[in-house]
Amino acid sequence: MQPSMKPADGMSPAAPQVRPPAPAPARAPAPAPAAMPPAATAPPTVPAPTARPATPSAHADPAPDDDPLREREEIAEAMYKAAVARAEIAEAMYKAAVARAEIAEVREKAAAVLSRALEAREQAAAERDAIANARDRAAAERDVTANARDRAAAERDAAAAQRDAAAAERERTLTQHQAAATRDTSTALAEADAELEKARLEAELQRAHLDALTGAFRREMGRLALRNEIDRARRGDGKFVVAFIDVDGLKGVNDREGHAAGDRILRTLVATMRANLRSYDPIVRFGGDEFIFGVASIDPSEVQHRIGVIDQSLRSATGVGITAGLATLSSGESLDELTARADAALIEAKRNRGPQDPTI
């Protein structure tokens, strides 16, 4: 039995499973969001919400399924309002695009004025070459600072690219459903909107349970994933190994090179673990520089070999390595007992390396 999960703060719980209702009375289909026009044309007009037709009453006496019918009407009304909201969002995006185009035009005009002024200066600036050289040197120093900002922006752009890819996928799905909606009834449109909402909620739930820096499971969600893998292993061959991983010398890296360098090492470690483990093996950020992963149906010797590959790959990429402690699942053992034994094995591995190793 899978344990229930309480939704993260600010998130709606998943909708309960209900028996498919009888067909609802037909209603006017929601207008499809207008396609984004070019910057030079007028913005699309957002259609005003139209009144839903009154539900015809075939009999004077109330039917036993009045409550489900009223619930279906409320759901249809909510979906219609969601479609109108999406059209308003599209209009806002169009207006933002027009504003950006106007800003770009102003900048181009300003650039043209500056270019003409520069040509005039160049004709009379032969005697000011020494000043220009000094300005060039100052500009070079500013470029060094700008390059540092660009590197930080590149990391932000990478995260934004992932969000954009997810948005593009949702947009493609929306386009497909809009094309189908031109041929299908309002019921087909409602099903498409429900599928998009489900995908959005699943994506938000996934992000809520992942560590923002590394993409590994957060501690509580990771413990749930590990317990599920343990239950699955017990239904199979009973083999399950937990590895407790600690990054060597991360504090020294943070002190010498800054926390951005330490964060880069943690991201590289998780990416390396994913490359050497199976896609369904859970990886959990247990603490600041401590991680746990669990693998089923694999001998401890093979797990130890994979840890060695991860250690060598991390050392090649960042100059620091890892120390690991392993524990194999015993009959009747809980997750807390298993991770405690893995933690003890990690401490023992560090002790065996001795105080002469400055990276511990």
Reference 28, options 195, 185, 196; nearest CA is 185
Q: Report if residue 53 sits inside a domain.
A: no
Contact 232, 224 (CB under 8 A): no
What is the pLDDT at residue 18?
42
Q: What is the DSSP string of 58-87?
A: S-SSPPTTHHHHHHHHHHHHHHHHHHHHHH
Percent over 90 (pLDDT), the chain: 51
Q: Report if residue 332 sits inside a domain.
A: yes
Is the pLDDT assigned to residue 207 strictly greater than 70? no
- When comparing pLDDT for 148 and 359, which is higher? 148
Q: Report if residue 291 sits inside a domain.
A: yes
pLDDT band at 139 (very low <50, low <70, confident <90, very high): confident
| φ, ψ for residue 336, nearest 5 deg | -60, -40
The amino acid present at 88, given as its one-letter code, is E
b/e code 240-249 from CB counts within 10 Å (16+ = b) = bbbbbbbbbb
Gyration radius from the chain CA atoms: 30
Range of the domain at 255: 219-353
Domain boundary among 109, 124, 139: 124
Give the integer Cα–Cα distance in Å for 287 and 98: 47
pTM for this entry: 0.44
In angstroms, the Cα distances linking 291 to 11, 38, 140, 281, 297 are 27, 50, 42, 13, 20
| Predicted confidence (pLDDT) per residue in 239-249, tens digit | 999 999 999 99
What is the pLDDT at residue 161?
83
Quick one: average pLDDT of 1-12? 43
Structural tokens at position 144:
């060094």
Which residues sit opposite 326 in a β-bridge? 243
b/e code 305-322 from CB counts within 10 Å (16+ = b) = ebbeebbebbeeebebbb
Mean pLDDT of all residues in the chain? Answer: 81
| Predicted confidence (pLDDT) per residue in 72-120, tens digit | 999 999 999 999 999 999 999 999 999 999 999 999 999 999 989 888 8
Structural tokens at position 318:
């960042």
Do 349 and 225 sit in the same domain of this protein? yes
62-71, 86-95, 180-189, 329-338: lowest mean pLDDT where? 180-189
Q: Report if residue 23 sits inside a domain.
A: no
Quick one: average pLDDT of 259-282? 96
Residue 110: which residues within 8 A CB-CB, separation 6 or more? none
Q: Report if residue 359 sits inside a domain.
A: no
pLDDT band at 282 (very low <50, low <70, confident <90, very high): very high
- Tally of CB atoms within 10 A around 35: 10
Give the integer Cα–Cα distance in Å for 224 and 3: 8
pLDDT band at 181 (very low <50, low <70, confident <90, very high): low
Q: Report if residue 6 sits inside a domain.
A: no
Domain boundary among 105, 124, 143: 124
Q: Report if residue 340 sits inside a domain.
A: yes
Quick one: average pLDDT of 13-35? 47
pLDDT band at 11 (very low <50, low <70, confident <90, very high): very low
Rounded to 5°, the CA angle 163-167-168 comes to: 115
What is the pLDDT at residue 37?
46
Structural tokens at position 174:
């929306």
Do 115 and 223 sit in the same domain of this protein? no
Domain boundary among 89, 107, 124: 124
What is the pLDDT at residue 157?
81
Give the distance from CA 308 to its chain's centroid.
Answer: 30
Q: Among positive and negative, which fits the CA dihedral 256, 259, 264, 270? A: positive
E strand residue ranges, 6-138 = none
Please give the tally of structural domains in the chain: 2
Which CATH number does the domain housing residue 251 bear? 3.30.70.270
pLDDT band at 186 (very low <50, low <70, confident <90, very high): low
Strand order in the sheet with 240-247: 283-285, 290-296, 240-247, 322-328
- Highest mean predicted confidence (pLDDT) among 27-36, 200-209, 224-233: 224-233
Looking at beta carbons, which pairs linking 57-66 to residues 24 or more positions away fall under 8 Å?
Answer: 65/22
Q: Report if residue 172 sits inside a domain.
A: no
